[in-house]
Structure 1
Amino acid sequence: MPTIRVELFEGRTVEQKRALAEALTEATVRTLGGSPDGVDIVFFDVPRHNWATGGRLWSDQQQQQQQQ
C-alpha cells in the first residue's frame, strides 16, 4: 500500500493531523483496497519562510496581509 506525504504549513494541531490521517486512510482503502494498516502517512510541517509560490515567500505574503 502507499505512503502518503503531506506537506503543509506548520501550526496544525495534533487533532487536525489525526483527523486528516484517518480521512486519508479511509479514502485510500476505499479507493485502492487493502488494509488500513498498510497505509502510511508522513506529515512535513514547513515554516512559511521555507515555502514560496509565484516567486514570493509565504512569510512575506503573510506580513503584507497583516500590514493592510
Structure 2
Amino acid sequence: MPYIQITMITGRTEEQKRDLLAAVSQATADSLGAPLDTVRAWVVEVPPTDIAVAGETHADRRAKSDQT
C-alpha cells in the first residue's frame, strides 16, 4: 500500500489540493500497477515562516521579491 506525503507552503485552495491529491494518487497507481483504492496520499501545509531556502525563510524571500 503506497503512502504519499506532500508537504507544501500554505495558500492553495481546497480545489487545488483535491486536484493534486487525485492526480498524485492516480499517477502512483498507474506507475506502480497498484489498485487506486490502496493508495494513501495527504497534504501537510507549512506556514512560509517555517520553511527556509538557503537559511532564509520563504516569507522573507517573498517579502524581498515583492520589494523589487
Using the size of structure 1 for normalisation, the TM-score is: 0.92
Moved over 4 A (4+): none
The 5-angstrom pairing of residues 5-44 of structure 1 reads 5-44=5-44
Deviation at 1:33, TM superposition (A): 1.3
Offset at residue 37 of structure 1 (A)? 1.1
Please report the RMSD computed on the Cα atoms of aligned residues, expressed in angstroms. Answer: 0.9
Structure 1, unaligned runs of 5 or more: none
User: Structure 2-normalised TM-score?
Assistant: 0.92
Distance in 2 separating the partners of 1:14 and 1:44: 13
Question: What's the CA shift for 1:67?
Answer: 1.5
**Percentage identity across aligned positions?**
35
Equivalent pairs counted in the alignment come to 68
What residue ranges of structure 2 are gaps of 5+ in the alignment?
none
Residues of 1 paired with 2:64 and 2:31: CA distance? 41
- The separation in 2 between residues aligned to 1:15 and 1:63, in whole angstroms, is 26
C-alpha displacement at 1:4, in angstroms? 0.3
Amino acid at match of 1:53: V
1:24 deviation in Å? 0.7
